[in-house]
Amino acid sequence: MNRVTLFSICASSALLLYTLEMVRRRKLREEYSILWLAGSVVILVLSLKQDWLVGIAHAAGIAYPPSFLFLIGILFILLILIHFSIAISKLHQMNKKMAQEIALMKGGIENGSLPRTGQPQERKEIIS
């Protein structure tokens, strides 16, 4: 077992355990942990199963198998970043709607003509 493999085993298990611990403590929501977990599991498995790594790397035309691990790592990071950009865009949209709603409601209260929208909505947990 060469040192780069040993290093990737340690790093990916540490990442896996850390991610799981953060989810367990509710500091990381499950939906944001999936890509991290998947990435660390894939890298861990390929680090342990040397022959799989070598097989796939050769099939992909990569001469030095451990560099395939880096490729996998980079691809997961890109996926996670895109996922974040999408999540931010969604939050941006929600934030805009909320700000507009607040402005309209405040304006309605001041003018004493709050447009009634039927029954007050059931309270929903903000962090569920």
Partner 1 sequence: MEGTPPRILVALPAYQEERSIGGLVRSLRERFPYDVLVVNDGSKDGTSEASREAGATVLDLPCNLGIGGAVQTAFLYARDRGYDAVVRIDGDGQHEVEDIPKVLEPILAGRADAVIGSRFLGEMEYRVSIPRIFGIRFFRLLVNVTTGYRVTDPTSGFFAINRSLIEFYSHHYPSDYPEVDAYILMHRLKSRAVEVPVRMYERAEGKSSITAYRAVYYMVKVTLSFLINRIRRFG
Q: Interface residues with partner 1 (CB under 8 A)?
A: 92, 95-96, 99-100, 102-104, 106-107, 111, 115
Q: Which C-beta is closer to partner 1: that of 6 or that of 104? A: 104
Q: Which C-beta is closer to partner 1: that of 49 or that of 96? A: 96
End-to-end, the C-alpha distance of the chain in Å comes to 44
Residue 102 CB, nearest distance to partner 1 (Å)? 5
Residue 96 CB, nearest distance to partner 1 (Å)? 5
Phi, psi dihedral angles at 74 (to 5 degrees): -65, -40
Residue 101 CB, nearest distance to partner 1 (Å)? 8
Q: Which C-beta is closer to partner 1: that of 67 or that of 93? A: 93
Q: Which C-beta is closer to partner 1: that of 88 or that of 99? A: 99
